[in-house]
A = this chain, B = another copy of it.
Amino acid sequence: MSQQAEEFFNIANEAQGLARELAPGVTTRIFPGEQAMLSVVTIAPNGQGTMHSHPEEQWGLLLEGSAIRIQGGEEIAVSKGDFWRTPGGVPHTMKAGPEGCKVLDVFAPPREAYRRAGKGFASAT
């Protein structure tokens, strides 16, 4: 019997991960590890999160669609294949383009508030 199979997932499998509604039209599935945590975020067309920050470092990869990444007071257009680092403590959010978007976020270390079911960005500020 496979022990490793439980460590394998797919971006499109909505049944996997811990579901969380971050904001209206912004949902995610959380995959917690020991040193990092992955978050597969779906933003509805023209949907937007709320500005927030946290001490954990964050990386994002745009998997589908287009969006405006807002961080550190700047707005940067991103398209499929773009990825970015958000240092801890830097305020950030994201606004999807007209077709919506899907983003893979990585938190290191894991965001403890996201290890359990809940709502919202659990912002530190």
A94 at the interface (CB under 8 A from B): no
Query: Pick the contact of A81 from B12, B35, B106 — CB < 8 Å?
Result: B12
B109 contacts A10, CB within 8 Å?
Answer: no
- Please give, as numbers and ranges, the residues of chain B lying within 8 Å of A7 by CB-CB distance: 71, 84-87
A85 contacts B33, CB within 8 Å?
Answer: yes
Main SS of chain A's interface residues?
strand
Q: Binary interface profile of A, 1-32, with partner B (CB < 8 Å = 1, else 0)?
A: 01111011111100000000000000000010
Copies in the complex: 2
* 8 other A-B residue contacts (CB within 8 Å) besides A10-B82, A12-B81: A3-B72, A4-B74, A8-B82, A9-B83, A31-B85, A34-B57, A35-B56, A106-B106
Query: What are 11 A-B contacts with C-beta separation under 8 Å?
Result: A2-B76, A7-B84, A8-B84, A9-B84, A33-B57, A33-B108, A34-B87, A35-B108, A59-B106, A61-B61, A108-B108
